[in-house]
Amino acid sequence: MSKSYMMMDGNEAAARVAYLASEVIAIYPITPASPMGELSDQWAAEGRPNAWGTVPGVVEMQSEGGAAGAVHGALMTGALATTFTASQGLLLMIPNLYKIAGELTPLVIHVAARAVATQGLSIFGDHSDVMAARATGFGQLASGSPQEAMDLALVAHAATLESRIPFLHFFDGFRTSHEIARVYPLSVEDVRALLPEGPRLGHHQRALSPSQPTIRGTAQNPDVFFQAREASNSWYRACPEIVQQAMDRLAVRTGRAYHLVDYVGAPDAERVVVLMGSGAEVAHETVAALVATGEKVGVLKVRLFRPFPSEALLAALPPTVRRIAVLDRTKEPGSAGEPLYQDVVTAIAESSAREDGGAPRLVIGGRYGLASKEFTPAMVRAVLDELRQPAPRNHFTVGITDDVTHTSLPWDPDWSTEEPATVRAVFFGLGADGTVGGNKNSIKIIGEEAGLHAQGYFVYDSKKSGSITVSHLRFGPHPIRSSYLISRANFVACHQFHLLERMEMLALAEPGATILLNSPHGATGTWDRLPRRVQEELIAKRLRLFVIDALAVSRGAGLAGRINTVMQTCFFALSGLMPLDQAILAIKRGIQKAYGSRGEIVVEKNFAAVDQSVAALSEVPVPAVATSTIPMRPPVPAGAPEFVRLVSSRLIAGEGDQLPVSALPVDGTWPSGSTQWEKRDLAETVPVWDSEICIQCGKCVLVCPHAVIRAAVYPPELLAGAPAGWKSAAARWRQFGDQRYTLQVSTDDCTGCRLCVEVCPVKNKREVRLKAINMGPHEPIRDAERANWAWFQALPAAPRDALSPDHVKDVQLLEPLFEFSGACAGCGETPYLKLVSQLFGDRAMVANATGCSSIYGGNLPTTPWTSNALGRGPAWANSLFEDNAEFGLGMRLALDQQRQRAAVLLRQLAQFAGLDVVEGLLSPEGRGETEIAARRAFVGELRRRIAVVDDPLARELAALADTLVRHSVWIVGGDGWAYDIGFGGLDHVLASGRDVNLLVLDTEVYSNTGGQMSKSTPRGAVAKFAAGGKRSAKKDLGLFAMSYGHVYVAQVALGGDDSQAVKAFREAEAFDWPSLIIAYSHCIAHGYDLVHGLEQQKLAVQSGHWPLFRYNPVLITEGRNPFQLDSKAPTVPLRSYAYNETRYTMLAHSHPEEAASLLAQAQQDLLERWHRYAYLAKAPPGFGAAATPEAPHD
Amino acid sequence: MTDLSTRYLGLTLPNPVVASSSPLTEQIVDLRRLEDAGVSAVVLPSLFEEQISIESNDLDLYLSHGAESYAEATSYFPDMGSYNLGPTGYLTRLAEARKALRIPVIGSLNGVSTGGWTRYARKMEEAGADAIELNVYHLPTDPTQSGLDVERMYFDLVQEVVGTVKIPVSVKLTPFLSAPAHVARRLGELGARGLVLFNRFYQPDFDLEKLEVVPSLNLSSAWTLRLRLRWAAILWGNTSADLAISGGVHTAGDVLKSMMAGARVAMVASSVLRHGPEHVRTLLDGVREWMASHEYESIRQMQGSMSHQHCAEPAALERANYMRVLRSFALRGK
């Protein structure tokens, strides 16, 4: 057994083995499996060899389907291959899985098992994905901890080679894939020993080769297909034994013994639970505690799920067992029971039949832990207790309250099996303050240097700006199986003072626990500033409170706002897990390791922070009586709609787990427009308007990523009754006469990104550093601005027909119907979506590809797409990542069909509708706001007139009447979708000729999954999967789309030319055929302060990296060149743009010559592209006439 | 045969034309061209401590920015393992230059902290620099900082660095000292082996349309030399440090004037940027030609010959020159 151990998460554990055991690795990012691919790519870039001394070939594909295809081909050609995936990714691989298994081809796919999207998407862990693949013929092996993820990964690779059955090796997404724990790593020798030469050579020898040609993948007729399918039976029969042999060989080398099914519990158990994955570790811990109290219970950990090891399962069951509860971490609606339950039932039934007698065993099944729902010892106990009942409930659920179909078992949340000797620490922080990074460091130190068992698990926010993180850390002398969150902490750290009034964090503290608080108020000033609830908990639980002004210490050390080092040092000082001097040395070693490559100055600053921390830490005496009058912040205001108050507010407060089934929509339909109720109050500084010098250009309104800056023009008489301090100026619109203009900021929704200040073109003549909008402290103006915002919202909207939406100045007066999203502060994507919502929102349908825009657009608890005062607004839906263009096309097809049907009905019911209405609605439809308003009025009148008609056709027409007003279909997604996984669909939809608008929010990288390379990534930029800088040029998606001739194509960048962008959106929408807008979107994954996002956009345009153009086929019909180049020839070198961004500079720092070479090539790329475009722009009139659009399709 | 050799910083150089710190002394290929054209030493571009700090801090900030905040993206960049940050790249180039060239290679250092100056000076010495030029680019914008404070900063700095390295150290001076002669003498006493006259501070411009202060970089002109000639002439003989003139040396005549004022070397940058490294050959040919036609035997013969102490009209280098110019201007004006 190896004596050395390391701290690592399940993904790394599995990836280490997979890498060593493979020659070809095809990857595609998907949460939570992405890190396995990223590590493989990184190791390959570093030249790390596999177990046989060669560096595996790692290739990123365009989708998981592509990865499976590439793996299939590599296997067929004799290579040892692997891939990593989860959820929808695994589902995309399924067709290939059948093939690979049918061909008896050794392969292991490592799966960080994750929920499959159904009524909603979830990135969290359960077994829905692997269960969906259980019929493919793949073997399935389940791991329940990071150590098992490493060990069983090797068992899977060994077993697949010997059995020829391909395997899915899976472990629970996040709970195991992202849990950091002690792992005894397997060595290269271990891998070589378990993957002996014979089976490897056998695999190579079966490869397709022209030297010994064979044919595979034949098409078979009814005469032989069936028999051929049965021909592999003996391989499946032999497989379980082969898996066990591999486990045994591993045990000989490591001392860690596994079995196909492992039993833990009383030898004379009467009641057992059966389950797979990390939940089995919870059950293990629970059973051990119950057996210690004399209960006759046990747990069967099923490790091999396919081929299902019936014999092993029966053999592992103590003969005394009479009642069995099988727990599935998946749901199969409409089935007789979930998969593991059914297999166990079958095994027992078949055994009973075979053995002819014996006492019958009762088997019940239930569901738990879907999408990482907490699964605790109390829940395991509830299941075991249920087995005691005379008639235990079957098909139960545990972990939720099902008050509709009453499947749920009750459990006692106060029952715990936490070991007293374990230090249980919970840390509340922000993503931006480095809390998680610091804690990961602490785990490594304590786990690797203090000799303690350690576990770390991290809960992240679903918002990307101001995101809150909660770290759960356990340290103790014994192995830790507690794969559930800490609910009884003996150490609670609050790294941000303001979180105290938002989160009930001390509810987690057990009596006598230590509380560490980052407080700007010092030892003497803190108590009086604590919310009353916090004071009461401190007193009632006799908690010890320590405070430090971590921000002051970190700033003193030169660390701008990152307090992780300070708080980490304080944790060591208070926890006593290690002698402090030893801990400080270890922390510094950790700092050197983590930051050493970033320069001495960075290391020195962190060292200084460590050295100054302990002295700045002090204990606050806890008085006997609570004195505070500060209340906890309500999650939503009292005036919020009922659903928001009853449901959304619970999610915001972190109480979503407590909502019963009845509180939730049955089909995933949620009310929109809920972000307006979640006032997050994130920004310390907010924009302040200078009404005297503002020229009312509207640029700040246009670029605000969170739609917090709004403008209004209104009659001066409305000023009466305005709040004190209300600002206004004479409106600078001819058509609005002497009306007033106000620019108002919803400061509670602002993220403080400063893009508005950056874009403001006005400078104060007396003090040029000031603009017409400037950042100022939020605190002094918070209350006044809340009152102003409330007043502003009551102002009437500007009449749309009085505005000219081609002008940015007028666009500011159009109400945004996309507001306050959880996107990153300074996001480059959201202004485009807001623009769509302003221009067309009241008649827009949005099909949104999975990715950043579907997360900030649709992640609970609150969502940003909203409606206007008339109740109209964008209707939004997310289907998948890969199918979005098709999904949106489907919307258009349906709308067109419904419109046709409505037109037929309208004619049939003309006598009731009236000729004026019939003519009004069947006449050609105008594009202007006036025409749309008139048409809507006709629809309203139609509804009124046919409401009294008792005819099914009239009722049908009433239901379809809205489609007689032109709907605007927007198909939205990122470059990962448009350039890669959804490219085929995008192409087809462009070819379809249908009236849809495709908007590509192009960040040149997979942003949502953490910055992986897409085909939009420019040459020379570093991305994950392109660690050495992307070597090929960016795909020219615009040119491709133009090649159809009938597609409107525009490339835009708000920071490059905002009026060109606005024009492009208007033209695209007005075009009756498909249109494609490729929108430059600066992104956090580019690595610079996004306050400079618009400046970078301008440089992208000026350097020629991002030429602006519009290709409008309508111009062909006018005898004009459809291609208009809207930006000038490159005027600045590419380096002036690129080397402002870390994605480029990190290569220049790490591989300067390579970077210089790639940059030179990229410069050449853009010059060539520019010449191509310049040529197109000069093409003679009539160019492209062959592609003249036909009549519209409706 | 005309002897062009000179001694600077204790180094014997075959001629007095040294390539000053400029973009042309960055790449080995350009350095070789300069050497082939005849420069007797090169000063590499400055290693800016502040730039190192900024690059490190930026890299640290943006590699960490947004990380560990959101479950699907716990980071946004791959771990590259190591970055050629800080002095590493500079020192590698310095070592390469040392290896590639026969002539002395002088490292240039622009620090901001005492620790930074000494740390990087030591690293330059270890990388093989033949000497170090301290590029003190300090604008005393702090109204609480006195002239004495500024001078003390210079003195402390030189003392620290000289005490740290064994190779010769020179100081590139600002022309805006209140008592340059005193400073020059004191720096010599503290161990500075050379003084470079002067640093050319880039003067920012105002953009009237954008209402922005914009950086500007102009090459030196013939006028640039005048200030340096005057101060070399004044300082000659008043400091133990060797003098170098940097700024405005464009012609062979400028080299000769520099020598006569008292400089041991004349440093060229703008003229080679404008005309290419081969311009050095023209300069040296011109120097040789002039010396031959005027029957000078050696450069050393003329060094300091027109200094304040040796010229016929010392007053011309002092305030009296100012008065004379004003008078003649007034006369011309009439």
The pLDDT tens digits for A653-673 are 999 999 999 999 999 999 999
Decide if B63 and A1023 are in contact by the 8 Å CB cutoff.
no
Per-residue pLDDT, averaged over B196-224, amounts to 85
Q: How far is CA B224 from CA A238, B175, B216, in A?
A: 90, 11, 16
pLDDT at A739: 97
Give, in degrees to the nearest 5, the angle at Cα A1112 between A1108 and A1114.
Answer: 160
The shortest CB-CB distance from A123 to any of B55, B63, B72 is to: B72
Q: What is the pLDDT of residue A1?
A: 39
A300 closest CA partner among A385, A1065, A279, A805: A279
- Cross-chain residue pair B67–A464, CB shorter than 8 Å: no
The dihedral over CA atoms of A487, A492, A497, A501, expressed in degrees to the nearest 10, equals 30
Establish whether this prediction's ipTM goes over 0.95.
no
The count of other CB atoms within 10 Å of the CB of residue B99 is: 10
Judge contact between B287 and B250, C-beta under 8 A: no
Q: Which pLDDT belongs to residue B116?
A: 83
Q: How far is Cα A72 from Cα A89, in angstroms, rounded to an integer? A: 15
Dist CA A988 CA A970 (whole Å): 16
| H helix runs in A576-627, sequence order | 580-595, 600-613
Instruction: Kindly state the average pLDDT of the residues A743-771.
Output: 96
pLDDT at A1033: 96
User: Touching check for A601 and chain B: CB below 8 Å?
Assistant: yes
Rounded CA gap, A387 and A393, in Å? Answer: 8
How far is it, in rounded angstroms, from Cα A299 to Cα B58? 52
Give the CA distances from residue A751 to residues A466, A687, A747, A770, A892, in Å, rounded to whole numbers and listed in that order. 8, 10, 8, 20, 36
The Cα of A965 is separated from the nearest Cα of chain B by a number of Å equal to 40
Which pLDDT score is estimated for A1186? 53
Torsional class of A334: left (φ above 0), alpha (ψ -120 to 50), beta (otherwise)? left
Please tell me which residue in A569, A751, A1008, A1017 is annotated as part of the active site. Answer: A1008
Chain A residue numbers touching B56 (CB-CB < 8 A): 598-602
Mutate which: A443, A601, A753, vs B, most B CBs within 10 A: A601
- From A11, A12, A16, A31, active-site residue: A31
Q: For the ranges A1177-1186, B161-170, B288-297, which has the lowest average pLDDT?
A: A1177-1186
Q: How far is B113 from chain A (nearest CA, A)?
A: 12
pLDDT of residue B321: 57
**Is residue A357 very low, low, confident or very high in pLDDT (cuts 50, 70, 90)?**
low
Q: Which of B78, B86, B89 is nearest residue A1152 as measured by Cβ atoms? A: B89
Cβ–Cβ under 8 Å, residues A1097 and A1137:
no
| Interchain pair A436, B74: CB under 8 A | yes
pLDDT at A2: 42
Return the pLDDT at B333: 45
- Please tell me the distance from the alpha carbon of residue A6 to that of residue A16, in angstroms, as a whole number: 13
Q: Which residues pair with A823 in a beta bridge?
A: none
A997 flagged as catalytic: no
- Is the CB of residue A1148 less than 8 Å from the CB of residue A1139? yes
Residue A696 pLDDT grade (very low, low, confident, very high; cuts 50, 70, 90): very high
Q: Is residue A521 predicted with pLDDT exceeding 90?
A: yes
How many of the other CB atoms lie within 10 Å of CB of A319? 11
Rounded Cα distance between B78 and B68, Å, is 14
Segment A86-94 mean pLDDT: 98
Question: CB–CB of A430 and B81 under 8 A?
Answer: no
pLDDT in tens, A448-464: 888 899 999 999 998 99
Residue B31: its H or E element: helix B28-37
Answer whether A467 touches B (CB < 8 Å).
Answer: yes
Neighbouring CB atoms inside 10 A of A115's CB total 26
Single pTM value for the model: 0.93
Local structure of residue B298 (DSSP, 8 states): B
Average pLDDT over residues A1100-1126: 96
Could you say which of B60, B64, B211 has the minimum Cβ distance to residue A768?
B211
- C-alpha span between A1125 and A1169 (Å, rounded): 12
Closest Cα in chain A, distance from residue B86 (Å): 6
User: Does the distance separating the beta carbons of B76 and A1146 come in below 8 Å?
Assistant: no
Percent of chain B having pLDDT more than 70? 94
Does residue A269 register a pLDDT over 50?
A: yes
pLDDT in tens, A42-79: 999 999 999 999 999 999 999 999 999 999 999 999 99
Average pLDDT taken over every residue of chain B: 90
Instruction: Calculate the CA A639 to chain-centre distance.
Output: 31
CB within 8 Å: A1146 and B73: no
Q: A1009–B72: do the CB atoms touch at under 8 Å? A: yes
Query: What average pLDDT does this structure show over B257-270?
Result: 96
Look at the alpha carbons of A201, A202, A205, A207 in this order and tell me if their dihedral is positive or negative: negative
Q: Does B206 touch chain A (CB under 8 A)?
A: no
Q: Do A126 and A217 meet the contact criterion of CB atoms below 8 Å apart?
A: no
Supply B139's token pair.
């604008």
Q: What is the mean pLDDT of chain A?
A: 95
Catalytic residue, candidates A114, A481, A899, A1169: A114
| pLDDT for res B85 | 74
Q: Using CA atoms, how far apart are residues A28 and A61, in angstroms rounded to an integer?
A: 6
Quick check: is A1140 catalytic?
Answer: no
Backbone angles phi, psi at A429, to 5 degrees: -150, -170
Active site residue A564: no
Give residue B325's pLDDT. 54
Q: What percent of chain A has pLDDT over 90?
A: 94
Per-residue pLDDT band at A1182 (split at 50, 70, 90): low
Whole-number Å distance between alpha carbons of A1191 and A287: 71
Per-residue pLDDT of A1035-1058, as tens digits, reads 999 999 999 999 999 999 999 999
Give me the amino acid identity at A162.
E
Contacts of B81 in chain A (CB under 8 A): 46, 597, 1150
Distance CA A355, CA A155 (A): 32
| Residues in a beta bridge with A847 | A877, A971
Q: What percent of chain A has pLDDT over 70?
A: 98
Left (φ > 0), alpha (ψ -120 to 50) or beta: where does A1138 sit? alpha
Q: What is the pLDDT of residues A599-633, one digit of tens each?
A: 888 999 999 999 999 999 999 999 999 999 999 99
B62 to chain A: which residues are within 8 Å by CB?
1087-1089, 1142
Chain centroid to Cα A1107, Å, comes to 31
CA distances to A289, A321, A479, A484, A666 from A265, in Å:
10, 11, 17, 20, 39
Cis peptide before B198 (omega within 30 of 0): yes
- Which residues contact residue A668 at a Cβ distance below 8 angstroms, ignoring those fewer than 6 apart? A118, A119, A120
Query: Is A508 strand, coil or helix?
Result: helix
Asked whether the beta carbons of A262 and A244 are under 8 A apart, the reply is no
- Report which of A483, A486, A485, A453 is spatially closest to residue A143, judged by C-alpha positions: A483
Which residues in chain B are closer than 8 Å to A824, comparing Cβ atoms? 66
C-alpha A301: how far from its chain's center?
Answer: 31
Active-site annotation holds for A1008:
yes
Q: Give residue for tokens 């190896």.
A: A2
Per-residue pLDDT tens digits for A852-890: 999 999 999 999 999 999 999 999 999 999 999 999 999
pLDDT of res. B334 = 39
Question: In this complex, is the C-beta atom of A1084 within 8 Å of any C-beta atom belonging to chain B?
Answer: yes
Q: Which pLDDT score is estimated for A1194?
A: 45
Give the mean pLDDT of A354-373: 86
Please tell me what DSSP assigns to residue A646: I
What is the structure's pLDDT at A1193? 45
Q: Considering only CB atoms, which chain B residues are within 8 Å of A125?
A: none
- All residues of chain A having their beta carbon less than 8 Å from the beta carbon of residue B51 are none
**Tens of pLDDT, residues B65-109:** 889 999 999 999 988 777 877 788 889 999 999 999 999 999 999
Crossing angle for the helix pair A435-449 and A564-575, to the nearest 10 degrees: 40
Question: For A704-745, how does the pLDDT look when each residue is reduced to its tens digit (9 = 90+)?
Answer: 999 999 999 999 999 999 999 999 999 999 999 999 999 999
Closest residue to A1146, CB basis, from B52, B59, B75? B59
Q: How far is A771 from chain B (nearest CA, A)?
A: 11
Q: How far apart are CA A869 and CA A764, in angstroms?
A: 37
* Rounded average pLDDT over A211-230: 96
